[in-house]
Structures are given as C-alpha cells and as structure tokens.
C-alpha cells in the first residue's frame, strides 16, 4: 500500500514542505534525514520513511507498539488486543475496522493529528 495516496496524494511541493518541516534536508537532489548518520535517499523513499514514523506514532495513541524495523525500513507493530505483530498497512486496516471507518479516512486523520502536533 502506498501510504502517500491515503494522505491526500501529496504533490511535489507539498511533499517537500512536509519533509522540510520534519527535519529532512535536500542535498544534491536527494534527502538527508534528521538523524545525522542517515544516508541520503530519494524523495519518495524519504516520504515513505517519514510517513511510517508519523503513522506509527499516531497509532501508539490506540495502544499499538513498534515491535521492530526491517532492514529496508518497514515497521512491525504489535497489536494491543492480541499481541500479534503485523505491518503498518495491516495495523491501519485493523484499527480502521475497530473504529468502523474507511482506512483512508483513519490514515488521513492520523496524518493530520501528527502534522498538527509539530
């Protein structure tokens, strides 16, 4: 699942603004993360990493916990109800089902809540 399609189809200018607000810096056409040791990545990869961070943090409000990250930067989340682990998209689907709302609506509201907090 492409997370960015659930947060309003982020255009280039909006993506750049979002990344800069989150501490990313553009260096020679690639994006350097807020962590000094991070390697520069493409804008789409930077967007994916930042959305993963923000949406995982927002799901923590419902009791979800980060169980770990894959070498490629994908997050595994622990379900607060049964303790099983799943991917971020699966966690969003489960939480949307529990909230009885569409996944896109939940994802967008979580994205906005994280955006407002900063």
Which tens digits make up the pLDDT trace of 43-102?
988 988 899 999 999 999 999 999 998 887 789 999 999 999 999 999 999 999 999 999
pLDDT tens-digit map of 29-53: 899 988 866 789 999 889 888 999 9
Return d(Cα 7, Cα 78) in angstroms, integer: 23
The CB density around residue 4, as the number of other CB atoms within 10 Å, is: 19
Residue with tokens 């489960």: 94
Collect all residues with Cβ–Cβ distance below 8 Å to 61 and sequence separation of at least 6: 113
Angle between helices 103-117 and 88-99 (to 10 degrees): 100
The pTM is what?
0.86
């Amino acid at each position: 699942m492409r997370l960015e399609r659930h947060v309003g189809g982020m255009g280039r200018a909006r993506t750049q603004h979002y990344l800069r607000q989150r501490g990313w810096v553009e260096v020679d056409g690639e994006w350097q993360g807020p962590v000094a040791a991070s390697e520069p990545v493409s804008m789409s990869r930077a967007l994916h990493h930042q959305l993963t961070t923000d949406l995982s943090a927002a799901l923590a409000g419902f009791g979800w916990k980060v169980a770990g990250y894959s070498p490629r930067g994908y997050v595994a989340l622990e379900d607060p109800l049964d303790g099983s682990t799943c991917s971020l998209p699966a966690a969003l689907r489960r939480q949307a089902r529990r909230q009885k709302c569409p996944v896109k609506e939940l994802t967008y509201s979580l994205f906005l809540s994280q955006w407002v907090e900063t």
